[in-house]
Chains A and B, each alone.
Chain A
């Protein structure tokens, strides 16, 4: 494993704009190995855009990303996946017409080691890999208590369950860095607690480094080791959860924002 001495991820002076509108301005912060880093901030602060830069969907205007000691002016999505950056999306991006199991198996794509010819002709190595993938997918479904839905078409499940499937799909390939965009949005409070507990477990037991975006400050305070607050694409606060609890800037940034849930 190339667990370098430095941080797991470093964002250095990254800026991004869309047709002249600044989405992210000269942003820098670090994510240590094995920590849960929460990105918070009001709507339009640039949180999702940042995740999109991290896994190569967007190309920053300037700045660079350092992932496990390697420098990137831009990530390519495929490259990011192959290096072990897993991703969950804000708008559910599951393959809605496919079964839960097939979705999770698709999550293992970066680990495939068999050639197209082997697959097409169902040669032993391909069949062996398929068995291993199935087994691994079932293990992860178990972890999320999704086993009973394995053969269900994902689009027919309730939203909260779908979000769980999306996390399962993102972690099945054992990513080295997991990016989650509002993984708890649209869940009821029992589901939130359950999924937050799963995320905490993934972090603790698999030593998974996680960057997540979440609006529920109560959950963030409990879950995260490190919080970065964004507002209008700028970094407002960067530090342990306690630093944001009573920070007037943070409260001001959230005032007037629709889905801030500053309670709890």
Chain B
């Protein structure tokens, strides 16, 4: 029983890291209907910038501030140079544009900062702690706490401020939002910047765990099943989806893995997502796309 609880808990905690990556996608998808393939590259770019700065001897706080400033500038540039000229294009066109963007961002990051793996030390000791006789990773616990804090901040932003009202308005009906004088270009800049910040946090946590290297941008591939399960348009969906994937992976690895000769983790999330696609194509929390006539 304890072994089961420990596996489940470890999985759930690890799942919050998936949620964090997925939230970045949801924000942008909700506000602008774009599946942002470049989310992974932006995450890598953020982590790489931070590491490069600290390697140069910039103190952590300064490095964070500079990285955030760069992310905001990047968001504004993306909106002005990419999204605005492509307004009213098909979702596929926009998706292709973000695909191109991801190569651009990775290329630039690699060009400036090199391609070697860099260690990222956030100063969190990864010593296990025990609750009763259940062992929990301290790092996972802190990561989950950070993810939770982000979710709380985002929900305050969305539900308690006038910017939030405008964000939800743009997400709901762009045409109506424009007619009320809501500047959707500005809203997109804000959303991309916020998604960048969420990416920064995700990038630092993932980077601390597996080193900052180019494969970091591949965490997007982990977000995809999370999004399919939770729905592309819902932040709570991204969270629940992440938890399901995390717990599912962890339990499957322990209890099913031995029968299949191990190595379940790389594909299990996709198999799970496939099952959800059959049962609930819009995801657990997703809205079914209703065509407006």
Chain A residues with a Cβ under 8 A of chain B = 55, 57, 77-78, 80-82, 86-87, 89, 91, 93-98, 102, 105-107, 109-112, 116, 119-120, 122, 126, 129-130, 133, 169-170, 173
Q: Is the CB of A106 within 8 A of B293?
A: no
Measured in the bound complex, the distance between the Cα atoms of B156 and A122 in whole Å is: 12
Q: Is the CB of B172 within 8 A of A97?
A: yes
Q: Which of A106, A120, A130 contacts B182 (CB 8 A)?
A: A106
Measured in the bound complex, the distance between the Cα atoms of B182 and A244 in whole Å is: 39
Closest to A119 in B: B163
Q: Is the CB of A109 within 8 A of B176?
A: no
Among B183, B292, B293, max chain A CB count under 10 A is at: B183
Residues of A within 8 A of B161 (CB): 119-120, 122
Residues of B within 8 A of A107 (CB): 180
13 A-B residue pairs with CB within 8 Å: A57-B179, A91-B292, A93-B179, A97-B168, A98-B165, A106-B166, A106-B182, A110-B180, A112-B162, A116-B186, A116-B190, A119-B163, A120-B163
Closest to A179 in B: B179
Q: Is the CB of B175 within 8 A of A109?
A: no
Measured in the bound complex, the distance between the Cα atoms of B166 and A116 in whole Å is: 12
Residues of A within 8 A of B292 (CB): 91
Q: Is the CB of B183 within 8 A of A78?
A: yes
Residues of B within 8 A of A87 (CB): 179
Measured in the bound complex, the distance between the Cα atoms of B166 and A133 in whole Å is: 14
B147-176 residues at the A interface, CB under 8 angstroms: 161-163, 165-166, 168-169, 172-173, 175-176
Q: B221 near A: Cβ within 8 Å? A: no
Q: Which of B165, B178, B179, B181 contacts A105 (CB 8 A)?
A: B165
Chain B: residues with Cβ within 8 Å of the partner, total of 23
Residues of A within 8 A of B178 (CB): 57, 77-78, 81
Q: Is the CB of B172 within 8 A of A98?
A: yes
Q: Is the CB of A109 within 8 A of B163?
A: no
Known: A91-B292, A116-B190, A119-B163. A109 touches B180 (CB 8 A): yes
Measured in the bound complex, the distance between the Cα atoms of B183 and A82 in whole Å is: 10
Measured in the bound complex, the distance between the Cα atoms of B184 and A97 in whole Å is: 18
Q: B177 near A: Cβ within 8 Å? A: yes
Q: Is the CB of A169 within 8 A of B175?
A: no
B163 CB to closest chain A CB, in angstroms? Answer: 5
Among B162, B177, B179, max chain A CB count under 10 A is at: B179
Residues of A within 8 A of B165 (CB): 98, 102, 105-106
Q: Which of A57, A120, A173 contacts B180 (CB 8 A)?
A: A173
Closest to B181 in A: A110
